[in-house]
Amino acid sequence: MLIDEFLPEYNFAKKHSVVISASAEKIFNVLKNSDFNSVLIKTLLMLRGIKLENLSLTLAEKSYFTLLGEENEKEILFGIIGKFWKWKGGLFKIKKEEFGDFSLTGFAKAVWDFSALPAGSGETIFATETRVQCIGESAKRWFSLYWFLIEPFSGIIRKIILYRIKYRAERE
């Protein structure tokens, strides 16, 4: 999987999944054409100092996220680098080719993955996984505290996204 190629070693990870009664092709089409706005998501992001009119994969690519790779109807992977524990994340844009070798102490590299696996009987397991690699002990300590505080809310955002995709894919 792409996620294993780009971030095989990591300090923190979280995965969420849902079974969807639709093909991977349909699910990825919905994913790529969805806006994930909700009052809850906007509120959670605003608490982090991030104000967005809408949240979508297109917007992610235009911001600090870098599309690291895509396997048709199987997986799509984004990467981001920053000091996530700082206000507004201390983020900066990096090219796909630079992501793997980035090793500046005091920063963290994160990947955000969406993947689909056939589950039989016309169903697909659709998952999102986040992995974070901290560069240096200081980054690891800061991120550890940040993750303790933010992970439950980050999980809520990812679950909302998964269930919105499920709802749309099973009804369209």
**Whether the predicted pLDDT of 135 surpasses 90:** yes
pLDDT of residue 73: 87
- Reported residue count of the chain is 172
pTM over 0.85? The answer is: yes
Stretch 154-161: mean pLDDT, rounded?
86
Confidence band for 143, pLDDT divided at 50, 70 and 90:
very high
pLDDT of residue 153: 82
Q: Which range, 39-53, 124-138, 150-164, has the best average confidence (pLDDT)?
A: 124-138
pLDDT tens per residue, range 84-101: 898 777 888 889 999 999
Closest CA to 74 of 147, 129, 24: 24
pLDDT tens per residue, range 61-83: 556 788 899 998 899 998 989 99
* Least confident piece of the model among 20-34, 51-65, 103-117: 51-65
Could you write out the DSSP letters of every residue in the chain? -HHHHH-SS-SEEEEEEEEESS-HHHHHHHHHT-----HHHHHHHHHTT---S---HHHHHHTT-EEEEEETTTEEEEEEEE-TTSGGGG-B---HHHHTT---TT-EEEEEEEEEEEEETTEEEEEEEEEEEE-SHHHHHHHHHHHHHHHHHHHHHHHHHHHHHHHHHHH-
**Whether the predicted pLDDT of 2 surpasses 90:** yes
**Whether the predicted pLDDT of 172 surpasses 90:** no
pLDDT of residue 92: 80
Class of domain 2-171: alpha beta
The chain-wide mean pLDDT, for the chain, equals 86
Residue with the larger pLDDT of the pair 7 and 172:
7
pLDDT tens per residue, range 98-131: 999 999 999 999 999 999 999 989 999 999 999 9
